[in-house]
Amino acid sequence: MFVKVASGAVLGVDGYIVDVEVDLAMGLPAFDVVGLPDSAVKESRERVRAAIRNAGYEFPIKRVTVNLAPADMRKSGPAFDLPIAVGLLICSGVVKKSAVEGAFFTGALSLDGSARGVAGVLSMLLAARDAGYKRAFVPTDNAQEAAYVTGLDVFAVPDLATLVDTLAMKTSQPIPLVSALPERDTYEVDFADVAGQPVVKRAMEIAAAGGHNMVMIGPPGSGKTMLARRMPTILPDMSFAERVESTKIYSVAGQLKSGTLITARPFRTPHHTASYMSFVGGGRVPTPGEISLAHHGVLFLDELPEFQKKALETLRQPLEDGKITLNRVGGVCTYPCTFLLLAAMNPCPCGFAGSEKCKCTQAEIARYLDKISGPMLDRIDLMVEAAPVAFNELETTAPAEPSAAIKARVEAARAHQHARFNSPQFNAKMTAAQLKKHCPLTKESSAFLQQVFDAMQLSARAYHKILKIARTIADLENTPQIEIQHLAEAVSYRGLDRKYW
């Protein structure tokens, strides 16, 4: 007997349909799985065999062949346990073939027959919905995540016996889970907690408003990391589409712990010992890297020069394109990675350059700073110095501006950008044609910028970045025209490379 059960797999961050074809034939007892399965898929033979027996059903003593189609794409993971078991139970006459028409199955099985959660369920169910399936059966562990897929009735499967009873209509039909928009996230940190550093706070507001990359340079204890951890508190709330897209990435990576949608913008802080592979993703079984896990959020690199130079250089193209394509044995994967790069660093190895405490030689300082290449620096929009905080700033009782007030200005500035581009685009991603259209300069402003360009010997990319930053500053001030003061402030964030490099 032959039967086909619909299941799915993930390539990159997108799901695709896999037909689990089960054939039961006469001959010596055997159980073969074909269709480019990895070891985890091949081991499903023993899991499915034990799960069926321990659930109270008889495993067929015949020749069993399972094909995972399309057979030319590698399959990995235990997600095919449940559809294979369903196919065998249909061949054995326990479940009617008509009961699985228009249904999608995914999930791993324990030896006792209980269903276990798998990675990438959200991506697979979105593919199932687009393919026209109306029902989906997923493990209870994945039910909350799967419930956010609209247009598809999702049923939680606690174990194999319950699934069989449901398909046989021996029990009442489970109520399809209904998705609901989660509440707005709250944060335990706030900019009101930060004393001093008005210049850095202003730069972070500009970075958040226009999606500009930023680096902070200053001695230890000046508050760089403390400020960076508060960046998500001034970013606009994620839209539902952004939440779903970020949740897909975390689900595929197996890092969706709560099972619900990601509501807060991701804030990723990889350690400086991280390899370039952990940044971009990939591997034998491709998984998203740190830059993709930071999609729609912030990638914070603390102690920037301590990172491997190869790892930093891999960021150059993703910063421009907002995506990364990897060619691996498992296939060609494209991961989205539109993130705000926020970095912090010391001015020298000991961190106290320019003071009596510093014992570093010029050669040591040069080697330290040379770990950050010129092309990488050119892709950083804002460079700001975090000076040591004065005693009177620490002792002041005057409340600092809270994150909510800054966030309101950031949201207003982004609203200007969305109206300007008629899409959720940031000023930082403006093309050359958009710059000419949306950043016209007066004669006075153009003359000022020419003087700056000649004096600082700027590159074409740096020139464009100054225009983009000035456009964001004007948006924060609700000014349609870029003025000289906007350009002057934008230029002030581009000079630290001349001081240190």
Structural domain that includes position 345: 191-422
Let me know whether 7 and 147 are in one domain. Answer: yes
Give residue 454's pLDDT band: very low, low, confident or very high (50, 70, 90): confident
Whether 141 and 196 share a structural domain: no
Q: What angle do CA 285, 289, 294 make, to 5 degrees?
A: 145
* Residue 148 sits in the same domain as residue 20: yes
Whether 450 is in a domain gets the answer no
**163 lies in the same domain as 196:** no
Assigned domain for 475 exists:
no
Residue 134, both tokens: 């109306």
pLDDT score of 271 more than 60: yes
How far, in Å, CA of 349 to CA of 346, rounded?
7
State the pLDDT confidence band at 306, using cuts at 50, 70 and 90: very high
Q: Are residues 29 and 145 in the same domain?
A: yes
Give 70 or 424, the one with higher predicted confidence: 70
Res 338 pLDDT > 90: yes
- Angle (deg, nearest 10), helices 460-476 and 198-210: 100
With respect to residue 482, please indicate whether it lies within any of the assigned structural domains: no
As a whole-number percent, the residues of the chain with pLDDT over 90 amount to 65
Helix axes 443-456, 484-492, angle to 10 degrees: 20
Query: How many angstroms separate the first and last alpha carbons of the chain?
Result: 72
Say how many C-beta atoms besides its own lie within 10 A of residue 170's C-beta. Answer: 9
Render pLDDT for 164-187 as a digit per residue (tens, 0 to 9).
988 887 555 555 555 555 556 678
Task: Specify the DSSP class assigned to residue 116.
Answer: E
Whether the model clears a pTM of 0.75, i.e. scores above it, the answer is yes
Residue 398 lies in a domain: yes
231 & 305 share domain: yes
Question: CB under 8 Å, gap of 24 or more: what pairs does 111-114 form?
Answer: 111/47, 111/50, 111/51, 111/54, 112/50, 112/51, 112/54, 112/55, 112/159, 113/51, 113/52, 113/54, 113/55, 113/159, 113/160, 113/161, 114/158, 114/159, 114/160
Residue 498 lies in a domain: no
Asked if the structure places residue 491 within a domain, the reply is no
**Span 194-199, mean pLDDT?**
88
Alpha-carbon gap, residue 500 to 386, rounded angstroms: 14
152 and 276 in a single domain? The answer is: no
Instruction: Examine the domain organization and report whether 13 and 60 are in the same domain.
Output: yes
Burial of 429 (0-12, 13-18, 19+ CB in 10 A): middle
298 lies in the same domain as 417? yes
The model's confidence at residue 261, banded by pLDDT at 50, 70 and 90, is: confident
Picking from 200-209, 354-363, 401-410, 482-491, which range would have the lowest pLDDT averaged per residue?
Answer: 354-363
| pLDDT > 80? residue 301 | yes
User: How does pLDDT run across 356-397, given as a tens digit for each residue?
Assistant: 888 899 899 989 998 898 888 888 999 999 988 877 777 776
Reading the block at residue 138, the tokens are 């997923």
Token pair belonging to 491? 């230029």
Q: How confident is the model at residue 87 (pLDDT cuts 50, 70, 90)?
A: very high
Q: Facing residues of 15 across strands?
A: 10
- Which of residues 422, 456, 481 is at a domain's end? 422
3 state SS of 339: coil
What is the overall mean pLDDT for the chain?
90
